[in-house]
Amino acid sequence: MLNSWSSSQLDLHIELGATGGRRSGLESALRAAIRQGRLAAGTLLPSTRGLAQELGLSRGTVSAAYDQLVEEGYLTTRPGSGTTVVEVPPCDPVPARPAPAPTIPRHDLRPGLPDVSAFPTRAWLASTRQVLTHARPEVFGAGDPQGRIELRSALADYLGRTRGVMTTPDRIVITSGYYQGLGLLCGVLAAGGTSTAAVEDPGHNVFRDVVQRAGFTTLALPVDSHGARVEALTQEVGAVFLTPSHQYPTGVPLHPSRRQTLCAWARSTGGLIVEDDYDGEYRYDRQPVGALQSIAPDQVVYCGTASKTLGPALRLAWMVLPHHLVPPVVQAKQKADLYTETLGQLILANLITTHAYDRHTRAARLRYRRRRELLLDRIAAIPRLTPHGVPAGLHTLITLPSDGPTEQQLLTSCARHGLALRGLTELHHDPADRPQGLLIGFAASSEHAYPAALDALFTTLTSDRAGAPASEGAYVSAT
């Protein structure tokens, strides 16, 4: 006989078993629940009368089972207080091998991560209250695969105002992060017959892998002080994936003449430009370079994300698409995960429309600018170490001298000193005979932890002869 009970105090599944007496079955079921941790120490059990009624047993059977477990030390009974569970060692018949403790770096200098300790909690809570106060019941039902119209409308205004993007809400698709959006787009393009794609070299290796997994043959576009060498694009290339406003990882913007060359290539060949504007909000010396999409809206897919402004955990990103790509991308999104979580979309929309998002971004821009300047001051103190990139983004690239120490030696030494950062080599298509370097993020650490992170980094660099003569850099120097 299998049975289960629930009471006003707690719900718990109890299997009385198909063999043996009812009392022994109840004793065994309660004993197992306690040993397995399903009934925690201090849990107040139902009264004997209540449990008997719910399980269809006699009160005497339940009382006898309780008394037996009290004798065995599983339960305790106090007059007027009921019967409660006693703490006992959990049942673990197979000794578990302890899992290795995760290595948590003391100092986080990874590139591309914001300071999540500065998440605008009060603004987020205020927007959450507004959203929930005025939410219609349908908000809690199934969502729209294209994304909530509230967020798409807010983004259309915001992106036009801050990045020069030319769009309407019907051309925007909301995705669960840029990673998902890129995968959806690649699948649509591959299904449409695109077989060759161009990517930056160096470029983000994780996103390059997404492009390659879609089945594309990839053409590597070398990057120099003017950005990607787009003149290398050919008729066979069907799509090109770029970070034109702030190239990852070198930090250089795509030169205006190359922007024009790129757009002319797209118009003449029908090729598609995929613009990853991953940190376009962060330019420190001037107004940010406008989105490439603004000069070729029918040839460019514009991709943005909240992961660099608010935090990666939100999994909110967006694509502004040419009209003909909207239906297949929405269909791909629906097949992938139906839709992106709704409440987060509505809260972000409220943050944008109330300008709390702007205020948070401006404050972050000031903090990150100061941090970048501190980093450059420390780099300048080490002879012949040259940083690269314009004053923008969340990281700075430094290339390493050809006569050592090597990138791997420095990464190993940094890890030994509790520092998390990233090397340049893995971002190249072919790491052989390429410049070695370090990508130093200046945003991920909290405000109070950042100075100590810099101290640890430069103690490590100087102790490993990082000031040896530097090789010629291939990228523009930071200013």
Beta strands 11-12; 5-6: pairing state: antiparallel
Within the chain, all domains assigned CATH 3.90.1150.10 are found at 360-463
Share of the chain above pLDDT 70, in %: 91
10 Å CB burial of residue 12 (0-12, 13-18, 19+) is middle
Q: How confident is the model over 3-57, as pLDDT tens digits?
A: 554 544 566 677 776 566 788 888 988 998 888 888 889 888 888 888 888 888 8
Fold of 118-358: Aspartate Aminotransferase; domain 2 (3.40.640)
Distance in angstroms (rounded) separating the CA atoms of residues 350 and 202: 37
Distance in angstroms (rounded) separating the CA atoms of residues 324 and 315: 25
Spatial contact of 56 and 4, defined as CB atoms under 8 Å apart: no
- With a CB cutoff of 8 Å and minimum separation 6, the contacts of 101 are none
Q: Which of 209, 284, 198, 210 is nearest to 243 (CA)?
A: 198
Q: What is the pTM of this model?
A: 0.86
Within the chain, all domains assigned CATH 3.40.640.10 are found at 118-358
The domain at 360-463 falls in which architecture? Alpha-Beta Complex (3.90)
Q: How confident is the model over 198-251, as pLDDT tens digits?
A: 999 999 999 999 999 999 999 999 999 999 999 999 999 999 999 999 999 999
DSSP assignment string, 16-76: --SSS-HHHHHHHHHHHHHHTTSS-TTPBPPPHHHHHHHHT--HHHHHHHHHHHHHHTSEE
The whole-number average pLDDT for the span 436-453 is: 96
Tallying the residues shown for the chain, one arrives at 479
Within the chain, all domains assigned CATH 1.10.10.10 are found at 5-85
Distance in angstroms (rounded) separating the CA atoms of residues 146 and 329: 9
Angle between helices 342-353 and 356-380 (to 10 degrees): 80
CATH number, domain 5-85: 1.10.10.10
Q: Is the pLDDT of residue 163 over 80?
A: yes
Backbone φ and ψ of 366, nearest 5°: -65, -45
